[in-house]
C-alpha cells in the first residue's frame, strides 16, 4: 500500500515551481553538500514559494535565510563552492541580481581558469525572470544575453515542469557555475507528471518539442508556450514547423539547430528580451556563419522591444504573442530571392 501511494505521488501532475521545489528537495535529501539560501527562502518559502517547506524539513543549517544583500549572497556562494559545498543561491527577481555581478562574473565564472583547474565553483544561482505577471519595474527583467556573454558561466532556462526538474538536478551536479533562470509567467501555467526519481536531463542539449519540415521556430522559457501555439496554427494552414527549445542558452546547441535547418531552410527566433543584442542575434549570427548555404530566407526575430518592460497595461503588448510569431513565420516563408538581372547584373 505504501509503494502504491509513493508511485501515485511520483506521477501526480505538478507545476513548474513545484518541480523546482521537488528537485531542490531531492538534492538536499541525497547530497549533504547541497545548501540552499537567499532572501525569505526559509521560513516564508520564497517570494514564489519555490522553497516552501524545505527549511522545516532539512533545518536551518541547510536552508538559510539571508539579509537583503545580493552582493553578499553571490559572494558567500563562491566561498562555499570553493570549500566543498554545492550552494544554491536564490535572487528574488532577476532584476535584483546586478549587485552580485562582480562575484558572479569576476570570481565564480573565472575560478576554474584562475586556479588552472585546481578549484571548481559548483554554484547554482537561481532567479525568477521575465514578464507576464504585471509586476513593477525591476521585476520583469529578461537580460539572459548579458550573462550568456560571460565565459565560464552556463545559462539555463526551463520551459516545462519536467525540464525544470531534470535541468535543475543537472545544474546542481555540474562542477561549474550555472545561472538557472525560472520564467515566472509559467510558474503555475500548466501541470505535468514529473517522477521524483533523481534523473537529470542533459545540459548543453536542445530539445525538439515538435517536428516539422517547413520552418524552424526557436524559443525558450515562457515564449515556448506561444511558439507551440503558433506552430499548431501553422499546421492548420498546411505548414509544419519544427519547434526547438535550446534550454541551455550558453553553451548553445547550434548543432540541433543546423540539423533542423537541413530540413526546413527557414528560421524564426522568438524571445521576450529586448531585440538589440539579444540571444536571437547570436543565434542568427551562428546560423549564417555555419549554415548560410542552407538558408532560403534571412533569419527572422520576434522579440521584445528596445525599451524597459512597460508596466501593467502595456506588458502584453511588449511580449511576443502568437500573432507576432505567425507574422515572423510568414515573413520567412514568403521571402524569395530577387531574380538575377539580365547579364548577371
Q: Where are the domains of the chain?
A: 2-193, 207-334
42-55 pLDDT per residue, tens: 999 999 999 999 99
Whether the domain at 2-193 and the domain at 207-334 fall into the same CATH topology: yes
Question: DSSP letter at 305?
Answer: -
pLDDT for position 7 = 57
| Lowest mean pLDDT across 22-26, 145-149, 257-261, 315-319 | 315-319
pTM of the entire predicted model = 0.94
3-state secondary structure 93-162: CHHHCHHHHHHHHHHHCCHHHHCCCCCCCCCEEEEEECCCCCCCCCCCCCCHHHHHCCCCCEEECCCCHH
Instruction: Give the model's confidence band at 137: pLDDT under 50 very low, under 70 low, under 90 confident, else very high.
Output: confident
Mean pLDDT of all residues belonging to the chain: 94
Active site residue 139: yes
Provide the CATH topology of domain 2-193.
Answer: Rossmann fold (3.40.50)
- CATH of segment(s) 207-334: 3.40.50.920
- Find the mean pLDDT for residues 205-232: 98
Please write the tens of the pLDDT for every residue from 8-37: 455 799 999 999 999 999 999 999 999 999
> In terms of Cα–Cα distance, which of 48, 45, 28, 40 is closest to 69?
40
Q: Which three cell numbers stand for residue 223?
A: 515564449
What whole-number percentage of the chain has pLDDT above 90? 88
Residue-wise pLDDT for 56-74, tens only, equals 999 999 999 999 999 999 9
The whole-number pLDDT of residue 312 equals 76
Q: Which of 138, 139, 255, 330 is catalytic?
A: 139
Q: By three-state DSSP, how is residue 4 classified? A: helix
Q: Identify any residues that bridge with 208 across adjacent strands, giving them in sequence order.
A: 244
Residues 6+ apart with CB under 8 A from 6: none
Question: For residue range 230-282, what is the model confidence (pLDDT) as tens digits?
Answer: 999 999 999 999 999 999 999 999 999 999 999 999 999 999 999 999 999 99
Note the pLDDT of residue 337. Answer: 61
Q: What is the pLDDT of residues 185-210, one digit of tens each?
A: 999 999 999 999 999 999 999 999 99
**pLDDT score, position 327:** 98
Q: Round to the nearest angstrom and report the end-to-end CA distance of the chain.
A: 79
Amino acid at each position: 500500500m505504501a509503494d502504491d501511494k509513493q508511485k501515485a505521488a511520483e506521477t501526480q501532475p505538478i507545476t513548474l515551481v513545484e518541480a523546482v521545489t521537488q528537485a531542490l528537495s531531492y538534492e538536499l535529501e541525497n547530497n549533504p553538500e547541497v545548501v540552499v539560501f537567499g532572501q525569505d527562502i526559509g521560513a516564508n518559502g520564497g517570494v514564489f514559494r519555490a522553497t516552501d517547506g524545505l527549511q522545516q524539513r532539512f533545518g536551518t543549517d541547510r536552508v538559510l535565510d539571508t539579509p537583503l544583500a545580493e552582493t553578499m549572497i553571490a559572494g558567500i556562494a563562491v566561498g562555499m563552492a570553493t570549500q566543498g559545498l554545492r550552494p544554491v543561491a536564490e535572487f528574488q527577481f532577476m532584476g535584483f541580481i546586478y549587485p552580485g555581478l562582480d562575484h558572479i562574473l569576476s570570481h565564480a565564472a573565472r575560478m576554474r581558469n584562475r586556479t588552472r583547474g585546481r578549484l571548481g565553483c559548483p554554484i547554482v544561482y537561481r532567479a525568477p525572470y521575465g514578464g507576464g505577471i504585471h509586476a513593477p519595474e525591476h521585476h520583469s527583467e529578461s537580460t539572459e544575453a548579458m550573462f550568456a556573454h560571460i565565459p565560464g558561466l552556463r545559462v539555463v532556462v526551463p520551459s516545462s515542469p519536467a525540464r525544470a526538474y531534470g535541468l535543475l538536478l543537472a545544474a546542481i551536479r555540474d562542477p561549474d557555475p550555472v545561472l538557472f533562470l525560472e520564467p515566472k509567467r509559467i510558474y503555475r501555467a500548466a501541470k505535468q507528471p514529473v517522477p521524483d526519481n533523481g534523473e537529470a536531463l542533459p545540459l548543453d542539449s536542445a530539445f525538439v518539442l515538435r517536428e516539422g519540415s517547413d520552418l524552424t521556430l526557436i524559443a525558450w522559457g515562457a515564449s515556448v508556450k506561444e511558439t507551440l501555439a503558433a506552430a499548431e496554427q501553422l499546421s492548420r494552414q498546411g505548414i509544419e514547423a519544427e519547434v526547438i527549445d535550446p534550454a541551455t542558452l550558453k553553451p548553445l546547441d547550434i548543432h540541433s539547430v543546423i540539423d533542423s535547418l537541413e530540413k526546413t531552410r527557414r528560421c524564426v527566433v522568438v524571445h521576450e528580451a529586448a531585440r538589440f543584442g539579444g540571444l536571437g542575434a547570436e543565434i542568427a549570427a551562428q546560423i549564417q556563419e555555419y549554415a548560410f548555404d542552407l538558408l532560403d530566407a534571412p533569419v527572422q526575430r520576434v522579440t521584445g522591444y528596445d525599451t524597459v518592460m512597460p508596466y501593467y497595461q502595456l506588458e502584453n503588448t511588449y511580449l511576443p504573442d502568437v500573432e507576432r510569431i505567425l507574422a515572423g513565420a510568414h515573413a520567412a516563408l514568403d521571402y524569395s530571392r530577387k531574380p538575377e538581372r539580365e547579364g548577371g547584373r
